[in-house]
Amino acid sequence: MTKLRGGLTVGLAVIVAAVVWPAAIFAAPGANAGDWPQFRGPDGNGTAVGEDYPLTWGPGENIKWKIDLADPGAGSPIVSGGRVFLASGSEDGRQRNLLCIDRNDGTLLWTKTVEFGEDTTHPQNPFGSTTPATDGTHVVVWHGSAGLHCYDFAGRSIWSRDLGEFKHIWGYGSSPIIYKDKLILQTGPGERVFLTAIDLASGKTLWETDEPYNGDKSPDDVGSWSTPVVAQVDGQPQVICAMSTRVCGYDLDSGDLLWWCNGLNGSSYDVVSSSPLVGDGIGFAMADLRGPAMAFKLGGSGDVTASNRLWHVEKRNPSSVGTGVIVGGYVFRPNAKPGTIECLNAETGESLWKSRAKDHWASMVLAGGHVYALSQRGATIVFKPDPQAFQEVAENELDGVTNATPAFSEGQIFIRTEEHLYCIGN
């Protein structure tokens, strides 16, 4: 096996096509407005296009199809051009998979498997815990130390990259996103921690920006698994990412660090799992393991902690893995431990209400005027985004454990558990 560290890779790993179909079947349809093409949807903010999504489901109700998954994973499904794409991995991590599934009936169309050696992760974060990304023609999946891989919709390999070794007791989990012709990836903990932009067509690096760590925690207690977002800030698209101690804004074209807001470092851990939440010129971020939470005005130059940070809460925060949604100046967030759903005033940080729920690792989705919150036990709470009081509309149970955020596309909801993938529709 030949590895070109940091460059285009020749024989990065053995890639096996489990199912081969005639190429004519897979004419790439291009991106569609109703697609769910990456983690947390088209804009990375957890907002679905369209209105007609089911509010209730269960055995015998609104389940269009259900299929078995051979391997677990916590990565979310994505949906584009009549296909559902999903990452998974064997328990020992020696096989990392990308699955392509027909969205109409759940038929497995093909599987691409990357063979890899021994690797490290945590039982709560199985291999296959990243979400693929697509532009309607390319589909890209990040397998951590096993590389970054790009395929077409027929499952043909376009390019592969070896970006280095990324080992941590919690494994890997940040997902790639696509903005126009660029793939953006925050690598997560490893030999290096960096944000990179890669040309989607060729796989060549456009820029890399390292994230230094100047804290006092041990390597096992430091890391960001946050997926970046692209937002319009100061009249230009910027990449915004929550690192282990701060939130940073980068120039999309050059990777230059434009601004940063400190405040995510905790007393015991400097760990971030959730993605930054942006809306109405405000950013919101939370550390994990009961670390700090904060909100800040987007933009500026250099260290904007003093000028832009709106509020900062250091103690008595819940553990945060999933990301919430911003609706009308209010943050609705899922909390992992204790298991609650909470509403905050985005500008002041005031907690307006908190409702007991289950442990939520998945991120919330806003669809058709309702918020969907999926728990680790497979139950989805549907509620109205009302800052005055918690208003539950429905609670829908499915069998199985899950940490994956659901995908919403053209009136259908795709929910992944450790053993199954469901398509839910009216």
CATH of the domain at 104: 2.130.10.10
Using CA atoms, how far apart are residues 353 and 19, in angstroms rounded to an integer?
50
Q: Quick one: CA dihedral 303, 228, 126, 336, positive or negative? A: positive
HSE at residue 293, side-chain half, CA atoms within 13 A, is 27
Q: Judging by beta carbons within 10 Å of its beta carbon (0-12, 13-18, 19+), is residue 184 exposed, middle or buried?
A: buried
In tens, the pLDDT along 267-311 reads 888 889 899 999 989 999 998 877 799 999 999 999 999 999 999
Task: Tally the domains of the chain.
Answer: 1
In this predicted structure, the answer to whether residue 114 has a pLDDT above a threshold of 90 is yes
Residue 336's pLDDT is 65
Percent of the chain clearing pLDDT 70 (strictly above): 91
In a domain, 182, yes or no: yes
Any domain includes 340: yes
Average pLDDT for residues 29-43, to the nearest whole number?
A: 86
DSSP one-letter code for 125: B
Q: Tell me the backbone φ, ψ of residue 294, rounded to 5 degrees.
A: -160, 160
First and final C-alpha spacing in the chain = 49
Residue 391, C-beta contacts closer than 8 angstroms, at least 6 positions apart = 383, 384
| Low-confidence winner among 97-101, 339-343, 389-393, 420-424 (lowest mean pLDDT) | 339-343
Q: pLDDT confidence of 338, banded at 50, 70, 90?
A: confident
User: What confidence tens digit (pLDDT) does each residue in 247-272 have?
Assistant: 999 999 999 999 999 999 988 888 89
Flag whether 315 is in a domain: yes
pLDDT in tens, 66-85: 999 999 888 999 999 999 99
pLDDT number for residue 259:
98
Is residue 299 situated within a structural domain?
Answer: yes
Domain contains 204:
yes
Which range of residues forms the domain containing residue 201? 72-368
Question: Does residue 118 have a pLDDT over 80?
Answer: no
- Give me 344's structure tokens: 């905050």
Residue 342 covered by a domain: yes
- Please check whether residue 390 lies inside any domain of the structure: no
Q: What is the pTM of this model?
A: 0.91
- pLDDT category at 332 given cuts 50, 70, 90 is very high
DSSP-H helix ranges across 203-328: 305-308
What average pLDDT does the segment 365-369 reach?
97
Q: What does the block give as tokens for 271? A: 């760990």
Residue 22 clears pLDDT 70, i.e. is over it:
no
Per-residue model confidence (pLDDT) at position 171? 82
Long-range contact set of residues 209-215: C-beta below 8 Å, sequence gap at least 24:
209/250, 209/255, 209/256, 209/257, 211/243, 211/244, 211/248, 213/244, 213/245, 213/270, 214/245, 215/244, 215/245, 215/265, 215/270
- Give the contacts of 60 (CB within 8 A, at least 6 positions apart): none
2 has pLDDT over 60:
no
Report yes or no: 259 and 287 within 8 Å, Cβ to Cβ: no
Reply yes or no on whether the pLDDT at 145 is more than 80. yes
Mean pLDDT of 323-343: 89
- Alpha-carbon span 274 to 287, nearest angstrom: 7
Does residue 392 fall inside a structural domain?
A: no
- Which residues is 354 bridged to in the sheet? 342
* Torsional sign, CA 304, 307, 310, 312: positive
Rounded average pLDDT over 158-184? 93
Confidence of residue 316 (pLDDT cuts 50, 70, 90): low
